[in-house]
Every structure is written in structure tokens, then in C-alpha cells.
Structure 1
Amino acid sequence: MTGAVIAIAVVLIVVGGITASVVAYFRLQRHRADAVAMASYRKLAEEAVAQQESLRGQLAELDARVKGVESLLRSVD
């Protein structure tokens, strides 16, 4: 009877260890996939910031042109 209990305990410990290893492996794989996705999101965010700065420069140039046209129109009156 004691031998059977010890055998069952050893089998449960081995199965538990294997299960824990498999779960840890798949959790690591999921974490790696998340890291790759986050890197692509970071790149996308950097590109968005660069485009936003470009648009900001274009808007400043357009604002200067509109002010020039307004001053021209006011001088005509």
C-alpha cells in the first residue's frame, strides 16, 4: 500500500513538472509574439509622429501664406 502511494506521488510530481514546463514554454512564446507586435506598434507610432511633424510644418507654411493674403486684401481696401 505504501509503495503504491509513493508511486502515485512520484507520477503526480513528474506529470506536474511536465505540465508546468509546457505551460511556461507556451507563455514564453506568447510573450515573444507580444514583444514583436509591440515593436511594430512602436515603429508605427514613430512614423505617425514624423508625419504629424511634417503636417505641422505644412500648416505653419499655409498659415503664413494666408496671413500674407489677408494683409494684401486689407491693403486693397
Structure 2
Amino acid sequence: MITETPDPLVCPLCGTANACVNLGEKDIARTCWCNDPDIKFPQELLSQIPAEKRGKACVCRECALKFQNSLSE
């Protein structure tokens, strides 16, 4: 059985680039978009990540905002 390691720069929910500065290969002296205090990562969102990808790849901004907006509808 071959197990594929999740790409840390790909959103585990939608499969697009997550634009993570924290896990990028370059040492960039700036903060990632995920540090924006207006963006939340509640457990309800994180629990949607497949078990084999949890803690190995960041959710992208679009998925985080989409989930956040769905709560206010």
C-alpha cells in the first residue's frame, strides 16, 4: 500500500494552493494571511479535513471565509 503525503501548500478541503507563508520553502519575514484576527478556524471547519490530512496542510483563505460566511446566513 502506497500512502501519499499531503502537500502542505495545498488546501486539504478544496485542493487549491493555500498561500501558506508559514509552510513555504522560503524564509519570509512577514505573517501569513491566517493570522488575520477576522478569519476564524472553528473546530466545525477543521473537522471537515480528512483524517489523513489533519495537521499536515493548511485550509486556504477561500475555504475559511466560505465556511465563516455560511455561519452568518
Q: Please report the TM-score for the alignment, with normalisation by the length of structure 1.
A: 0.22
Which has more radius of gyration?
1
Q: Please report the TM-score for the alignment, with normalisation by the length of structure 2.
A: 0.23
* Higher relative contact order, chain-length normalized (CA < 8 Å, sep 6+): 2
